[in-house]
A and B are shown apart, each in its own frame.
Chain A
């Protein structure tokens, strides 16, 4: 059975990813992780997260994918031992130092990070023969190559299917280092490739159109079935910096695609899934390298595509079937308006919000305080971790 692997920036996101359909979650610890600005997990968080996952038959991988400088080596083995004690299911690593230390001195399973840009069979076999069980392929190859590699290696193959793309070869970019002094390969990437530049020839401006190296995000809604058929072991959703709602939406969309395909052998309606993803999409998406070298349609020019989506307005904490009131943790402002319940195992259901009571017991018609626990009347049963979305555009 193919694995759906999702990212999680903190413990709550880990739980959401699993509840919404991930088979495994990858997280960053407090050290050796490439997302220095993500929340990242303490040892206690890791232990709780692993327990939560294992109780549900799911897995937790920890990214240790920095390229350490000399002084960064300090504490490496102790940290790996901590991960071992927390019973994480694997580490994801790029540096030979970290890979070799884990293989030699711990029982940790090792997955090779996309930062190694493995895009051919000898490279995959090299790491497999060293002791790694899985290789995350570089994002710079097409579907034919992914299929060819997967069918001709012993290692498990993991492929990115959704999220941000490096414009350059992963792990080979130092733009951020040079232009901001932030080390891209130690967790400080400033996404310099998404900046705008003036293109010049012999010092003179070539065009008024700003040049950018930025790539659209990857989205593989229509490619998942082929990756399943190819024998890929794991499909990866990137985004440790993303929100609860983003993770839930993207994970649940791919969960449903995988389930429909494995149960029926076909996908009836791709538009349904593309529509689901629109709830979370905050950057333009495309298919990356899956059909060959990217064209202009996979690049981003002139405008930043991020848009803020504020339709996720509340998270269900509890539901009282006798009164019909749900305890809701507020996430964004909402009123007595049409709302939608997004739930992992059924289609979304809408209702008209007719009654709300704030944390002081007062009747309100507008919920505007973030993270307040309020009561919302919902005319059908809901469950903890269901999400409330506003239906407004």
Chain B
């Protein structure tokens, strides 16, 4: 038996949970993070709203840009299950890999919107414990560390 630990928590929390775990621990450690999942066919309804046929279904080249957040676009994908929105910047755990290796049983690299060749390049970096930026240059990716070192808040208007 095993369980994925949530992606929205800090490294400190992951370690605390891992120290108390009764099951094997899985961790999504690299890839485009899912932010949103709806059962609604939102690209279909959006197309219909504009009186257009839906040519956007299952199109993996679509992104959303928020008007105040111009430095990142967010992949959006509609499939049979609904509508999914992801981070455009790629989540990575390079800075935390040594700690994660000590506490997490399965480290998952998600290649949605990427290809197998990418996984073949990235996985050894985690195995070695160091990022080789030159290898990934062709992908022109922007990286982020999610909530590993920056816990989300509950109240307030930060970045609103």
Interface residues in chain A, defined as those with a beta carbon under 8 Å from any beta carbon in chain B: 36-37, 69-71, 140, 167-169, 172-175, 177-183, 185-188, 190, 193, 195-203, 206-207, 209, 211, 213, 215, 289, 293-296, 298-299, 301
Contact = CB atoms under 8 A, between A and B. Distances in A.
A141 to B, nearest CB: 9
A182 B153 contact: yes
A209 B152 contact: no
B99 interface: no
B64 interface: yes
Given A70-B13, A200-B64, A299-B40, A177 B152 contact: yes
Contacts of A293: 39-41
A201 B61 contact: yes
15 contacts: A69-B151, A169-B37, A178-B35, A178-B87, A182-B160, A188-B152, A195-B66, A196-B66, A197-B66, A197-B74, A199-B64, A200-B73, A207-B50, A213-B40, A296-B49
Interface string B114-125: 000000000000
B62 A177 contact: no
Contact of B46 (A186, A193, A195, A211): A211
Contacts of A296: 45-46, 48-49
Interface residues of B, number: 51
Contacts of B50: 207, 209
A303 B23 CA distance: 48
Contact of A181 (B38, B69, B158): B158
Contact of B38 (A37, A168, A174): A168
A181 B33 contact: no
Contacts of A37: 155
A188 B65 contact: no
Interface of B: 7-10, 12-13, 16-17, 33-42, 45-46, 48-50, 56, 59, 61-67, 69, 73-74, 76, 83, 85, 87, 147, 150-160
Given A181-B150, A186-B152, A201-B56, 16 more contacts: A36-B155, A69-B9, A70-B13, A70-B16, A140-B39, A167-B42, A174-B33, A175-B35, A188-B152, A195-B66, A198-B64, A199-B64, A207-B50, A213-B36, A213-B38, A293-B40
Nearest to A185: B8
A279 B16 CA distance: 51
A36 B154 CA distance: 7
A195 B155 CA distance: 19
B39 A70 contact: no
A185 to B, nearest CB: 8
A299 B42 contact: yes
Nearest to B144: A178
Residue from A37, A196, A293 having most chain B Cβ neighbours under 10 A = A293
A201 B152 CA distance: 30
B2 to A, nearest CB: 16
Contacts of B83: 213
Contacts of A70: 9, 12-13, 16-17
A69 B13 CA distance: 8
Contacts of B35: 173-175, 177-179
Contact of B48 (A168, A211, A295): A295
B144 to A, nearest CB: 9
A70 B11 CA distance: 11
A206 to B, nearest CB: 8
A183 B66 contact: no
A99 B66 CA distance: 37
A385 B56 CA distance: 53
A203 B63 CA distance: 7
B67 A196 contact: yes
A186 B131 CA distance: 33
A121 B62 CA distance: 36
Contacts of B64: 197-200, 211
A359 B9 CA distance: 54
Contact of A299 (B36, B49, B155): B49
Contacts of A172: 37
A183 B39 contact: no
Contacts of B9: 69-70
Nearest to B48: A296
Nearest to B160: A180
Given A168-B38, A188-B152, A293-B40, A209 B49 contact: yes
B16 A193 contact: no
Contacts of B67: 196-198
Contact of A168 (B37, B61, B69): B37
A29 to B, nearest CB: 14
A298 B39 CA distance: 13
Contacts of B38: 167-169, 213
Contacts of A174: 7-8, 33-36
A168 B36 contact: yes
